[in-house]
Structure 1
Amino acid sequence: MFDDAVTHRSARALGRRIPPGFLFGTATAAAQIEGAARVGGRTPSVWDRFADEPGRIVDATTPAVTTDHYHRLGEDVRLMSDLGADAYRFSFGWTRLQPGGSGPLSASGVSFYDRLLDELLEAGVSPFATLSHWDLPAEYAQGWLDRETALRFGDFAGLVGTRFADRIDGWITINEPATVTLNGYALGLHAPGLSLLFDALPAVHHQLLGHGLAVGALREAGVRGAVGITNVYSPVRPLNDTPEDVAMSTLFDIVHNRVFSDPVLLGRYPEVPDELAGLFGAFADIPAGDLETISQPLDFYGLNYYVPSLVAAGAGSGESPDGTSQAMADLPFRLEPLPQYPVTGFGWPIAPEYLGVALAEMSARYGAHLPPVYITENGASFADEQGEDGTVRDAERVAYLSDHLTAALDAVAPGGVAEAVDLRGYFVWSLMDNWEWAAGFTQRFGLVHVDFETGVRTPKASFHHLREALSARPRA
């Protein structure tokens, strides 16, 4: 579906930029698409509980049905195949596979994921699996604040790794521990809805410890696929060059980026300026051996990129594109808008050049310690236009994805700002419109439009654009 020959040519030109062997995929998460919340013995997750609390979800929807992927799995795999995607990044629903978060794996849950993997492999789509994509059993009352959760996660990884060892090409332990910590435990915007500010930092360490235990468990299980972690990265800049703004931008860089990547890649938490050290007391007494567990060598590092961050000293209003958090007004810094950039439906600045900056900063910080990298999420929500003929036009998404993929490829090309990075692939967020966490059904990220009343899927213009691009790729 192309409006004109220029659009057709731009798609094919994009495809010719993609090097042979570069993996192109789409991504989803179990809680956002599966539905079937009470089928097969599945028990509630923290997100089921959170969504049942009045006022937590913008439109008062829940993950009970979402896009009903559980019952439409075959249709969704056919969409991936029709797109020409090389890979599909999905997540295991912890409580679908292990109801209640303890005991053996559920035969019903195993059967569902067996079917998904079999259909992906039959369609020639490489499976990449995430063990925890913001999904946690509701029975874990303290969540990631409790060290026991890390131990249970390591056990869960061992069970899942043993069962699916032979059919998964990429294993991601945890998705975006930064977002889980900041939105879920510090600011109260996501499940479990706690507003602890810097007292949320134990959730950082326990997620990273869980990651390390999961890496060990997967390798002990003999998985054949590559093993890594995924975190969101935001390049940070001060609003002004004043000492106060520079200090607060450093603080934000530490709490959003470095406390998650430094332990994994360097085996230590970042050094902080003396005047900020009191905020990081949670890391002062780490049990012996934890950092060694956390920093086991990885086969790849997953980087999710959406926005840069402009930081100023002083409290903000408590308003953010992700929702309202009164806790934000108690922080010593605030996030400022970047008016020079257009924005997505979420109000996020569209700044593709900063994807290259993100890769360059990771390369500069970690050098030889940085393993091969995948962009494991990149995408945007827009108010798509559905015509009377049923077609869905999303020119903004076409431009967004083209510009960001091009920026990533330019950054790692010879002479690029991140040419030392071994960039292996790029995953679009998301395959289809879904239940967008606290935003419910109000934000659409998909290449495929979903009618949330009927479940009907309609590929958008961006889907057709990328399909044309992928068909024009040079082959090895």
Structure 2
Amino acid sequence: MVSPPSGFDGQAVPVSPGRRLLRPDFVWGVSTSSYQIEGAAREDGRGPSIWDGFSHQPGRIANGDTGDVACDHYHRYAEDIALMREMGVGAYRFSVAWPRVLPEGRGIANERGIAFYDRLVDGLLAAGIEPWVCLYHWDLPQALQDRGGWAERDSANWFADYARLVASRLGDRVKRFATFNEPGVFTLFGYAFGWHPPAVDDAAQHHAAIHHVNLAHGAAIDVLRAYLPGVSLGTICNMQPVRPVDPTPADCAAAALLDDYWNRAFADPQIRGAYPAVLAERIAPFVQDGDMERIRRPIDWLGINHYSPIYARADAGSRLGFAWSDAPAEVPRSPIGWQIDPDAFRNTLLDACDRYRLPIYVTENGAGAEESGDAAGAVNDVERIDYLSRYLDALEEAVLLGADVRGYFVWSLLDNFEWGAGYANRFGLVRVDYPTQRRIPKASARWYKATIAAQVRGSVP
């Protein structure tokens, strides 16, 4: 095991971690995703994903950045495990890169790609860190996009076969699986707004993709249950309140529509067995007999990713009837302009517990910034610490009010490729100096270590 870089020991914790009134088995973790950190885009038999081609298209990503190298986690995973061990996290949520293990998306498995995840899982377990595997975090194999991607109904079968491969190779050691990460984001941004691959603006394809991803979720849950009895299974949805830019009837209607697409299009059918009414009408052409039963399969927990409220405005020219909007200028914002509203986080947790009646794990929460290190590369990220502290206070309030929240994962372990923003936005507890790939724990990493240690020591009631 590689020793962690300097930056943890011998330095004061910038802010007291406080007292957390949480259950003794509360899970403290960090999250990443494959395309955002792994790099090694053309090594050891990995096939291209939709993000490989998209990121190389001029004008798509800030500064022309790509995920070709990213954080080089593929080669530096042992160093990153050592960082997590030093931080004291109990769990690491990561995603498997579908094109790394199945270069064509289906067919013959790539043994060199699977071997990487074998090494990663074994290293995590040796360090006392529980691996949480997310099967899909947006990097669809390009070969499957060429066959129609998520707009093609057969994509549910492709995903089930992929889930079977991962279960058969990692399921002897991995006991926590999630099917999808933020399907509301990758379908809306990819098929309606054109901001992410496959970069189309087509209402029919968008609605087809929503339904087929839901079918894929149900099919994968059935596969995982069959292959791995007793495994803990969940799904991960972005859940953030949607607000109108102005309190006009038109903007309020737009916000209600975006709320359905953003917050309800996946959790509702997967857990409650039905689409919201407006979506049900729009998706009806793609629904076949028995589909809703195939989608609603028993799961053990709900993962929630939450950062801030989002905003909508009416747009008569939009195919969906609304447009995305920035938060009002007067609201408190993070350094990258996202609204800071811990009360919205507390209420989201309470509402989700009431609506879905499942244990909840916060699988992503964090603050982004355009930040640089000092001469030694250190980052005193007091704004991030303040954000995390206030949001954990809100989580604690939700628990005290009855929310069944069982874990919290910071986004992210490392600064990484942040999709359209490239490497400009940094969310990591650990700074990555990209030219050298040096890892430098930030002040927030020391704060998180102290927060976890206070809980684990039993210094909370």
The alignment's TM-score, normalised by the length of structure 1, stands at: 0.89
1:386 maps to 2:361:
no
Give distance in 1, aligned partners of 2:350 and 2:86.
34
Cα displacement string for residues 264-288 of structure 1 (whole angstroms, at most 9, x for unaligned residues): 111111123xxx98xx433245111
Cα displacement string for residues 284-343 of structure 1 (whole angstroms, at most 9, x for unaligned residues): 45111211111111111111101212334346xxxxxxxxxxx86984455352334332
After the TM superposition, which of the residue ranges 330-339 and 17-26 deviates more from structure 2? 330-339
Give distance in 2, aligned partners of 1:292 and 1:329.
29
Give distance in 2, aligned partners of 1:343 and 1:466.
22
**1:81 deviation in Å?**
0.3
The 1:297/1:426 distance shift into structure 2, 3 A limit, reads same
**1:432 deviation in Å?**
0.2
The 1:58/1:241 distance shift into structure 2, 3 A limit, reads closer
Q: Which amino acid counterpart does residue 65 of structure 1 have in structure 2?
A: V
Partner-residue secondary structure (3-state), 2:131: strand
Determine the structure 2 residue equivalent to 1:138.
Answer: 142
1:339 maps to 2:340:
no
1:371 maps to 2:358:
yes
1:140-159 matches, cutoff 5 A:
140=144, 141=146, 142-159=148-165
The 1:405/1:223 distance shift into structure 2, 3 A limit, reads farther
Determine the structure 1 residue equivalent to 2:306.
Answer: 305
**1:99 deviation in Å?**
1.2
The 1:401/1:443 distance shift into structure 2, 3 A limit, reads same
Q: Which amino acid counterpart does residue 87 of structure 1 have in structure 2?
A: A
Give distance in 2, aligned partners of 1:44 and 1:103.
15
Give distance in 2, aligned partners of 1:5 and 1:283.
58
Q: Which amino acid counterpart does residue 288 of structure 1 have in structure 2?
A: D
Give distance in 1, aligned partners of 2:204 and 2:87.
43
CA contact (8 A) 1:187 1:328 kept: no
CA contact (8 A) 1:161 1:223 kept: no
1:174 maps to 2:175:
no
Give distance in 2, aligned partners of 1:106 and 1:330.
40
Q: Which amino acid counterpart does residue 260 of structure 1 have in structure 2?
A: F
Give distance in 2, aligned partners of 1:304 and 1:29.
13
Determine the structure 2 residue equivalent to 1:189.
Answer: 195
Identify which of 231, 239, 251 aligns with 1:233.
239
**1:474 deviation in Å?**
4.7
The 1:457/1:8 distance shift into structure 2, 3 A limit, reads closer
Give distance in 1, aligned partners of 2:322 and 2:117.
45
**1:5 deviation in Å?**
11
Determine the structure 2 residue equivalent to 1:205.
Answer: 211
The 1:8/1:444 distance shift into structure 2, 3 A limit, reads closer
1:260-339 matches, cutoff 5 A:
260-272=266-278, 280-314=281-315, 331-339=321-329
Give distance in 1, aligned partners of 2:397 and 2:71.
35
Determine the structure 2 residue equivalent to 1:321.
Answer: none
CA contact (8 A) 2:22 2:399 kept: no
1:86 maps to 2:73:
no
Cα displacement string for residues 117-169 of structure 1 (whole angstroms, at most 9, x for unaligned residues): 00000000010001010010101222111111111001110111111112113
Give distance in 2, aligned partners of 1:334 and 1:382.
21
CA contact (8 A) 1:168 1:224 kept: no
Determine the structure 1 residue equivalent to 2:399.
Answer: 412
Give distance in 2, aligned partners of 1:350 and 1:38.
39
Determine the structure 2 residue equivalent to 1:351.
Answer: 341
Determine the structure 1 residue equivalent to 2:3.
Answer: none
Partner-residue secondary structure (3-state), 2:47: coil
The alignment's TM-score, normalised by the length of structure 2, stands at: 0.92
Partner-residue secondary structure (3-state), 1:40: coil
Q: Which amino acid counterpart does residue 98 of structure 2 have in structure 1?
A: W
Cα displacement string for residues 51-103 of structure 1 (whole angstroms, at most 9, x for unaligned residues): 12111111112111111001101000000000000100000010111111111
1:4-15 matches, cutoff 5 A:
10-11=16-17, 13-14=18-19
**1:247 deviation in Å?**
2.2
Identity rate, percent: 42
Cα displacement string for residues 167-201 of structure 1 (whole angstroms, at most 9, x for unaligned residues): 11310101110001111111111111112246511
Partner-residue secondary structure (3-state), 1:100: coil
1:469 maps to 2:451:
yes
Identify which of 420, 424, 434 aligns with 1:442.
424
Aligned length: 449
Identify which of 416, 425, 431 aligns with 2:413.
431
The 1:198/1:353 distance shift into structure 2, 3 A limit, reads farther
CA contact (8 A) 1:345 1:443 kept: no
**1:8 deviation in Å?**
5.3
1:392-403 matches, cutoff 5 A:
392-403=379-390
Give distance in 2, aligned partners of 1:5 and 1:110.
39
Cα displacement string for residues 3-53 of structure 1 (whole angstroms, at most 9, x for unaligned residues): x99965622x24x44441110100000001111111110010000011121
Partner-residue secondary structure (3-state), 1:431: coil
Give distance in 1, aligned partners of 2:204 and 2:219.
25
CA contact (8 A) 2:255 2:322 kept: no
Q: Which amino acid counterpart does residue 151 of structure 2 have in structure 1?
A: L
1:45 maps to 2:40:
no
Give distance in 1, aligned partners of 2:424 and 2:318.
23
The 1:223/1:382 distance shift into structure 2, 3 A limit, reads farther
Structure 2: unaligned runs, 5 residues or longer: 1-6
Give distance in 2, aligned partners of 1:336 and 1:157.
37
Cα displacement string for residues 369-421 of structure 1 (whole angstroms, at most 9, x for unaligned residues): 421111111112112341223321111111111111221121121xx2xx1x3
Q: Which amino acid counterpart does residue 339 of structure 1 have in structure 2?
A: A
**1:348 deviation in Å?**
1.2
Determine the structure 2 residue equivalent to 1:455.
Answer: 437
**1:239 deviation in Å?**
4.4
Q: Which amino acid counterpart does residue 349 of structure 2 have in structure 1?
A: L
Give distance in 2, aligned partners of 1:310 and 1:89.
28
Q: How well do the aligned residues superpose, as a CA RMSD in angstroms?
A: 2.3
